């Protein structure tokens, strides 16, 4: 049987619902609180960036000063004080980033081990290269040698800016311009670290690439920036995971991810997002305001987004595809779980520009407790996109009577030969289903997990095998205690 | 094994079982018959511990223990099994995964070791064969798109897999074709043992030709009104509930 079918039991994991809520006690080098031109210069200097990068950041910063926070999403939160947070925090021991894994601060190794991401040579996940980002810096990247042999560049973006400026200058901001939106512009000014991937022509990346984002420091925001370029006829599968400590304060995570697929290239991008969601009363948790966009720049290219969003107090995120190349394909597979007082407003945009472009959207939204869960999606077909096709499937599952599920699909088709289909369903976990499971000896929380995993199956199957089982467990854990 | 005394059960504020008495010793198979709406399924749900079936008075002793305080999953772990009149569909969850999850949940609750996937697969395949349940069915989502008869056979497969001490079969014969009826009956008979008790709810004498019960009870308006040997079922078939229970009342 396929690996994705094994439903592991919830009780395998520690009784704590959010088991990643610990804090690593480590000496930090921080930017003083507040945001100004000096902050931008401070970050750029910390990263020993070239002048052009600083200019780029400063321009974004100036622009940001004139922008307003978007208000159209179905989410509510108190005003964010952008001056009351620090925009750079890095472990002191990382001053000069160590060249070898052996030189990493043992406290950091221990942290990642606890998170299930062993970085030391003997214990690394076979077949998965990991870039570990801790607050504002990347602390380690595994399997670099093996990837270099294949010609694949996989490194922290701060390193790419110094060592591969020609690629970074060509592609950075080419999918999400610095002017794109409030949070993306803020990110452009103050981004700290994230991953850079370049897969050369005709290369099939020999292993899964993944970045593990960890927020540790308090009163900071994390501004990750990821850039992935798949050159002609190449293939790469990339996965990101995220966790943060339990805190009463809200912390901002405003990321920008840009993907570029050239002729015949394919990028598969998966996210397992498990930022701290806040407590049962809705106190604390991460504000996850993220701009992710892929550009199918070449003909016959493909970009596929898969996301499992279980964490964060607020999720505001619309991984999108610009289907520019003829015959290009965009996919969006999403599971968004909102429990207790979590709010999720997430979906995708499929912009059909090229001929015979195809897109597929499968969204599974699960709401429990007092949560609000919105699918917001745009399918836009331009006049030139003859023969474009889209199919959207939006399913909502409600657990209990006090949560909400909303579906907001926008369809703009300016091409008569295009076909756009939208299907939506809303259901509840029925008493019959629960009783049936119970009567067979399956306890309540495990029954909910089983039923919800069944509901999400189509999406879970899209995840790389190495992560599917973990994601299934996560689905169960994030809904523990939601019934009865 | 099972001792029900003066059981009163209310559903949505309406009393459905009104002083039911029934006792099934280990090693015996009892049949309960009765007109539509007489409370047969209510009895089976109450035994399984379904929410909303409130015991207002009386008692249910299972192996000498009062059942009322136990949740349905705890009852299952203690060896109680109910084959439902209307088995439920669970989309996206393959039948095999469901069986493994349930079996291991029960074992865990009893403090036994879990059975690994390969072993469960072997175990299920062996039992499935006897019930003519195909590999394809085991791979498909639980009960989704299964025919009525297939669903019922899957209930019996579960009974065979879990090896309960007390099994209640609620109209498992309804909707079965002749061949399936025989398969199911054989499956049930194979499980008869001195250590096990069964309660078979049915409308049709025919099932009882295959599964010969120790006792037959007639349930009417929430009470057992008549009991007898296997011949009572034949008599009911001939004369109908009105004559038999009318006379007894
Ligand atoms: N939620 C409910 N509220 C009120 N009455 C109910 C409810 N559920 C069941 N009943 C009633 O309880 C009575 C017994 O139902 P039950 O399903 O136990 O009958 P049954 O003997 O199994 O019938 P059948 O032979 O048709 O399966 C019926 O009159 C039914 O309408
Ligand atoms: Mg019934």
Tell whether the model's pLDDT for residue A6 goes beyond 50: no
Number of domains in chain B: 1
- Can you tell me the mean pLDDT for A281-292? 91
B 203-242 → A contacts, CB under 8 A: none
Q: Is A433 on the interface with B (CB under 8 A)?
A: yes
Instruction: Please tell me the predicted confidence (pLDDT) of residue A219.
Output: 84
pLDDT class of A97 with cuts at 50, 70, 90: low
Residue A15 reports pLDDT greater than 80: no
pLDDT top residue among A134 and A323: A323
Q: How far apart are CA A211 and CA A196, in angstroms?
A: 10
Question: How far, in Å, CA of A101 to CA of A121, rounded?
Answer: 8
Q: Does B109 contact A441 at a Cβ distance shorter than 8 Å?
A: yes
Quick check: B227 and B239 in contact, CB under 8 A? Answer: no
Q: Would you call B91 and A446 a contact, using CB atoms and an 8 Å cutoff?
A: no
Which chain B residue has its CA at the smallest distance from A456's CA?
A: B92
> Using CA atoms, how far apart are residues B213 and B207, in angstroms rounded to an integer?
10
Give the best residue of A439, A450, A453, A461 to mutate against chain B (max B CB count within 10 A).
A439
Render pLDDT for A320-363 as a digit per residue (tens, 0 to 9): 999 999 999 999 999 999 988 999 999 999 999 999 999 999 99
From the list B75, B87, B141, which residue is nearest A454 (CB)? Answer: B141
Is the pLDDT at A121 greater than 70? The verdict is: no
Q: Residue A243: its pLDDT value, please?
A: 80
CB A351 within 8 A of CB A204: no
- pLDDT, one tens digit per residue, over A440-473 is 999 999 999 999 999 999 999 999 887 888 888 8
- pLDDT tens-digit series, residues B142-168: 999 999 999 999 999 999 999 999 999
Does pLDDT of A208 surpass 80?
yes
**CATH code where residue B210 lies:** 3.40.50.300
- Residue A56 CB neighbours (<10 A): 21
Better pLDDT: A98 or A415: A415
Q: Is A442 on the interface with B (CB under 8 A)?
A: yes
* Mutation test residue for ligand 1: of B13, B40, B173, the one with most atoms within 8 Å of CB: B40
Q: Using a 6 Å cutoff on CB, does residue B47 contact ligand 1?
A: no
DSSP letter (8 states) at residue A357: -
Q: What does the buried/exposed string (b/e) look like for B20-45 if buried means 16 or more CB atoms within 10 Å of the residue's CB?
A: bebebeeebbbbbbbbeebbbbbbbb
Q: What is the DSSP letter of B225?
A: E
Our separate counts of H helices and E strands in chain B read 9, 12
Q: What is the pLDDT of residue B143?
A: 97
Give the residue, out of B14, B17, B33, B37, with the most ligand 1 atoms within 8 A of its beta carbon, to mutate for a pocket test. B37
Q: What is the pLDDT of residue A277?
A: 87
**Domain membership of residue B157 as a residue range:** 2-248
Angle (CA) A304 A309 A312, round 5°: 140
pLDDT at site A122: 61
pLDDT in tens, chain B (249 residues): 999 999 999 999 999 999 999 999 999 999 999 999 999 999 999 999 999 999 999 999 999 999 999 999 999 999 999 999 999 999 999 999 999 999 999 999 999 999 999 999 999 999 999 899 999 999 999 999 999 999 999 999 999 999 999 999 999 998 899 999 999 999 999 999 999 999 999 999 999 999 999 999 999 999 999 999 999 999 988 888 887 776 444
From the list B90, B117, B121, the residue facing A451 with the nearest CB is B90
Q: What is the nearest CA distance from B91 to chain A, expressed in angstroms? A: 6
Residue A289: name the closest of A340, A344, A330 by CA: A344
ipTM of the complex: 0.96
Q: Distance between CA atoms of A362 and A383, rounded to whole angstroms?
A: 25
How confident is the model at residue A14, as a pLDDT? 31
Segment holding B239, helix H or strand E: helix B231-248
CB–CB of B76 and A439 under 8 A? yes
For residue A394, the distance in angstroms to the closest alpha carbon of chain B comes to 15
CB contacts of B98 in chain A (<8 Å) are 440, 450
Indicate whether residue B106 lines ligand 1 (CB < 6 A).
Answer: no
Q: How far apart are CA A166 and CA A172, in angstroms?
A: 10
Q: What is the pTM of this model?
A: 0.88
User: Quick one: A410 exposed, middle or buried, by C-beta within 10 A (0-12, 13-18, 19+)?
Assistant: exposed
What is the four-CA torsion angle of A34, A35, A40, A46, rounded to 10 degrees?
20
Position A291 pLDDT exceeds 90: yes
List residues bridging with A256 in a β-sheet.
A225, A291
pLDDT at residue A195, rounded to an integer: 93
pLDDT > 50? residue A388: yes
Of A7, A444, A456, the CB nearest to B101: A7
Can you give the length of chain B in residues?
A: 249
How remote is the CA of residue B78 from the centroid of ligand 2, in Å? 24
Burial of residue A383 (number of CB atoms within 10 Å: 0-12, 13-18, 19+): exposed
Residues contacting residue B169 through CB under 8 Å, at least 6 positions apart: B83, B155, B156, B159, B188, B198, B199, B200, B201, B202
Judged by CB atoms closer than 8 Å, whether chains meet at B84 and A436 is answered as: yes
- Helix B117-130 vs helix B148-162: crossing angle, to nearest 10: 120
- Interface contact A441-B105, CB threshold 8 A: yes
A393–B contact, CB cutoff 8 A? no
Q: How far is A433 from A455, CA to CA, in rounded Å?
A: 12
Q: Which residues of A touch B108 (CB under 8 A)?
A: 9
Q: CB of A440 within 8 Å of any CB in chain B?
A: yes
Residue A4: pLDDT band (50, 70, 90) is: very low
In the predicted model, is pLDDT for residue A12 greater than 50? no
Confidence of residue A90 (pLDDT cuts 50, 70, 90): confident
Compute the distance between CA of residue A310 and CA of residue A268 in angstroms, rounded to an integer.
20
Name the average pLDDT for chain A.
89
Report the gap between the CA of B216 and the closest CA in chain A (Å): 25
């Amino acid at each position: 049987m396929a690996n994705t079918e094994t439903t592991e039991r919830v009780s395998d994991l520690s009784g704590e619902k959010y088991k990643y809520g610990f804090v690593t006690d480590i000496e930090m080098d921080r930017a003083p609180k507040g945001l100004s031109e000096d902050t931008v210069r401070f970050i750029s200097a910390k990263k020993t960036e070239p002048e052009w990068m600083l200019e780029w950041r400063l321009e974004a910063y100036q622009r940001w000063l004139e922008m307003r926070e978007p208000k159209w999403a179905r989410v509510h939160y108190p005003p964010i004080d952008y001056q009351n947070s620090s925009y750079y925090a890095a472990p002191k021991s990382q001053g000069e980033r160590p060249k070898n894994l052996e030189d990493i601060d043992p406290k950091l190794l221990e942290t990642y081990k606890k998170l299930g991401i062993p970085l030391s040579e003997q214990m690394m996940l076979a077949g998965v290269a990991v870039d570990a980002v801790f607050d504002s810096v990347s602390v380690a990247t595994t399997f670099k040698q093996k990837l270099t042999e294949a010609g694949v560049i996989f490194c922290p973006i701060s390193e790419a800016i110094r060592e591969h400026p020609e690629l970074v200058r060509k592609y950075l901001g080419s999918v999400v311009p610095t002017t794109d939106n409030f949070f993306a512009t803020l990110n452009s000014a103050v981004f700290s670290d994230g991953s850079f991937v370049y897969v050369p022509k005709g290369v099939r990346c020999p292993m899964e690439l993944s970045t593990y984002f960890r927020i540790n420091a308090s009163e900071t925001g994390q501004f990750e920036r990821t850039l992935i370029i798949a050159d002609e006829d190449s293939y790469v599968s990339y996965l990101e995971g995220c966790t943060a400590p339990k805190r009463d304060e809200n912390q901002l995570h405003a990321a920008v991810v840009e993907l570029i697929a050239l002729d015949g290239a394919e990028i598969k991008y998966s996210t397992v997002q498990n930022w701290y969601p806040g407590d049962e009363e809705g106190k604390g948790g991460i504000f996850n305001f993220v701009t992710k966009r892929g550009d199918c720049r070449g003909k016959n290219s493909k970009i596929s987004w898969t996301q499992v969003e279980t964490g964060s107090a607020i999720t505001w995120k619309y991984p999108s595809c610009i289907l520019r190349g003829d015959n290009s394909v965009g996919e969006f597979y999403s599971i968004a779980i909102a429990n207790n007082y979590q709010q999720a407003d997430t979906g995708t945009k499929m912009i059909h520009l090229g001929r015979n472009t195809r897109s597929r959207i499968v969204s599974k939204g699960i709401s429990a407790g007092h949560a609000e869960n919105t699918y917001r999606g745009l399918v836009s077909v331009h006049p030139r996109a003859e023969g474009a096709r889209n199919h959207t499937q939006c399913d909502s599952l409600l657990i209990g009577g006090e949560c909400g599920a909303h579906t907001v699909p926008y369809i703009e088709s300016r091409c008569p030969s295009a076909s756009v289909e939208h299907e939506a369903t809303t259901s509840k976990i029925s008493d019959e289903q629960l009783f049936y499971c119970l009567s067979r000896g399956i306890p309540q929380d495990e029954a909910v997990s089983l039923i919800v995993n069944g509901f999400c199956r189509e999406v879970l199957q899209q995840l790389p095998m190495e992560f599917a089982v973990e994601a299934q467990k996560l689905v169960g854990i994030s809904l523990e205690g939601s019934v009865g | 094994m099972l001792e029900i005394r003066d059981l009163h059960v209310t559903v949505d504020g309406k009393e459905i079982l009104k002083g039911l008495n029934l006792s099934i010793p280990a090693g015996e198979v009892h049949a309960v018959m009765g007109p539509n709406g007489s409370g047969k399924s209510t009895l089976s749900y109450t035994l399984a511990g379904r929410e909303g079936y409130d015991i207002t008075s009386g008692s249910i002793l299972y192996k000498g223990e009062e059942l009322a305080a136990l949740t349905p999953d705890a009852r299952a772990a203690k060896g109680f099994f109910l084959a439902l009149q209307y088995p439920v569909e669970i989309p996206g969850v393959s039948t095999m995964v469901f069986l493994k999850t349930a079996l291991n949940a029960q074992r865990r609750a009893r403090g036994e070791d879990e059975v690994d996937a390969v072993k469960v697969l072997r175990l299920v395949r062996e039992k499935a064969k006897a019930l003519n349940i195909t590999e394809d069915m085991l791979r498909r989502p639980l009960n989704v798109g299964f025919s009525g008869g297939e669903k019922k056979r899957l209930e019996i497969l579960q009974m065979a897999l879990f090896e309960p001490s007390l099994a209640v079969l609620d109209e498992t014969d309804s909707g079965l074709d002749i061949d399936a009826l025989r398969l199911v009956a054989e499956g049930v008979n194979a499980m008869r043992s001195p250590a096990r008790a069964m309660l078979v709810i049915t409308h049709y004498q025919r099932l009882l030709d295959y599964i010969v019960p120790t006792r037959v009870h007639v349930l009417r308006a929430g009470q057992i009104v008549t009991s007898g040997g296997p011949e009572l079922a034949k008599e009911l078939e001939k004369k109908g509930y009105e004559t038999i229970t009318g006379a007894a009342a």
